[in-house]
A and B are shown apart, each in its own frame.
Chain A
Amino acid sequence: MKPPKFSYHRPGNYAEALDLLDQYGEDAKIMSGGQSLIPILNMRLSTPKHIIDLSRIDDLKGIRQEGNMIVIGGMTRHVEVENSDLIKKKCPLLFEAIRWVGHTQIRNRGTVGGSIAHADPSAELPCVLTALRGEIVIVSKEEEITVSPEEFFLSFLLTSLEPDQLIKEVRFPIIHESCGYAFEEVARRHGDFALVEAAAVIDVDETGRISEALIALGGANAVPFIPEEVERFLIGKKPDETILKEAAVMQLDDLDPEGDIHGSGEYRRHLSGILLEKALCRAADRAMEGVEI
């Protein structure tokens, strides 16, 4: 199994990368960590004429706080997110989810921008970014734009990214310290792609009623799914087990998971309800800590 022939470019800075994309666009493919692209090349599912390797562009790396956002450079590796105190403190949902991404060997190479751009429907980062209503900053030679996950993820492995664009950074909103959060996933083996996954953030007011609910399900549809009816239903309710159980299955009919050797579509739909219930319960428990009623 060998990749097809291609010309290799390794721009040393940002401007050079955008020039190369402008020049080769349609015929080029960006290489970030390569943990999805190299298998694709090895199996010759794609045969780009040019590979543009972004690994030496330091401007695209790093994690920082900017106002109420945690900003992660597109070429920041998963392992750096996993080891970041800032992420642990300010973006605990992402911190909890990142350990579900592949194995250590994958997280040592794979990047945040790469995972977002690859847009696998069961990947963890797109699901977390969608739940938190994050932003994706995209650049080309002409412009820099910011898009929402809903605008960005179009379908299975398909995004709105144009051939001359690259992901500069991904922005995760910081949730209030009083919020509870949880990420739940079932995979056949640890490190495998998820069958289904659920991300939830819940905040409660001083009377113990839910004041905010942010939810996303991954792996169930072609793109991460926000069950908006469930989010609306939860507002103003006390997060007891009956309510959360009822909420978790409200929108299962809006899911259309595909079946494969690892599980039928019906099983994935069922699992979505179970995982969402678990995520809601754990997030609510965390939110209720410190609330005196």
Chain B
Amino acid sequence: MSVFSIGMNVNADRIEQQNVVSVALNVNGEKMERQIEPRLLLSDFLRDDLGLTGTHVGCEHGVCGACTILVNGESVRSCLMLAVQADGCEIKTVESLSSKDGSLNTIQQAFANNHALQCGFCTPGFLMSIESYMKNNSKQPSDEEIKECISGNLCRCTGYSNIISAIKEAYSSKNSQ
């Protein structure tokens, strides 16, 4: 009981000291409204407030790309955006990629087939960058274009070549569908 009441006090104190703002947004197809502190990063909002821990937080200053998500269909780094800035936006995270029954989408399946991940920490960011790229570019990209597409994401395991193979496969299987 005592622990509970301390928790409540801390929370009340936080809200009293800090202006709280209201955000209404659509995350992975679900409309929601939340009260948040304006300084809350979008990455932390997704992970801590919504429990969408698929979005990974690596460097927290816009270098590693692990927290890449889609905002209104465009790839952005969620650690370089305040949650309040997403007010009125449509957000897609890595959780939106697979079907409800758990089956993988084309890019995810290509990653699995090509061993394009080892530890997997960077993978959600790669998947979202590629998701956005494939939506905007229907033509099979060159190696150079693929490298440009994933240049905003760091991977310390694979050496990238299997990721490049996965993207090529994702394009061929998409085009043969």
Contacts and interface: CB of A to CB of B under 8 A. Distances in A.
A105 B76 contact: yes
A103 B147 CA distance: 11
A38 B77 CA distance: 11
B38 A38 contact: no
Contacts of A293: none
Contacts of A106: 62, 77, 80, 152
Is the contact region of chain B dominated by helix, strand, or loop, or is it mixed? mixed
Interface in B110-155: 129, 132-133, 147-149, 151-152
Interface residues of B, number: 33
A108 B84 contact: no
A189 B151 contact: yes
Contacts, number: 86
A108 B61 CA distance: 16
Interface string B50-80: 0000000000111001001001001111011
Interface stretch (B17-25, B98-106, B168-176): B17-25
B19 A8 contact: yes
A170 B23 CA distance: 32
Interface string B1-33: 000000000000000011101000000000000
Contacts of B75: 104-105, 108
A7 B19 contact: yes
Most chain B CB atoms below 10 A, which of A2, A38, A42, A191: A38
Contacts of A12: none
B62 A35 contact: yes
A4 B18 CA distance: 11
Contacts of B85: 31, 34, 53, 55
Interface string A98-119: 0000111110110000000000
B62 A39 contact: yes
B60 A34 contact: no
Nearest to B17: A5
A43 interface: yes
B164 interface: no
Nearest to B39: A3
B54 to A, nearest CB: 17
Interface size, A (range): 20 to 34
A34 B125 CA distance: 19
Nearest to A8: B38
A190 B39 contact: no
B90 to A, nearest CB: 14
A42 to B, nearest CB: 5
A191 B64 CA distance: 12
Interface string A64-94: 0000000000000001000000000000000
Contacts of A102: 152
A6 B82 CA distance: 12
Nearest to A102: B152
A102 B74 CA distance: 15
Contacts of B38: 6-8, 51
A2 B152 contact: no
A261 interface: no
Contact of A79 (B37, B61, B74, B81): B74
Most chain A CB atoms below 10 A, which of B17, B39, B74: B39
A39 B148 contact: no
A190 B151 contact: yes
Interface string A21-50: 000000000010011001101110000000
B82 A38 contact: yes
Contacts of A103: 65, 151-152
Nearest to B38: A8
Interface string A159-201: 0000000000000000000000000000001110000000000
Interface of B: 17-19, 21, 37-39, 41, 44, 60-62, 65, 68, 71, 74-77, 79-82, 84-85, 129, 132-133, 147-149, 151-152
7 contacts: A2-B44, A5-B37, A38-B41, A38-B80, A39-B62, A42-B60, A53-B85
Interface of A: 1-8, 10, 31, 34-35, 38-39, 41-43, 51, 53, 55, 79, 102-106, 108-109, 189-191
The 6 closest A-B pairs by CB, nearest first: A103-B152, A8-B38, A39-B61, A1-B60, A3-B39, A108-B74
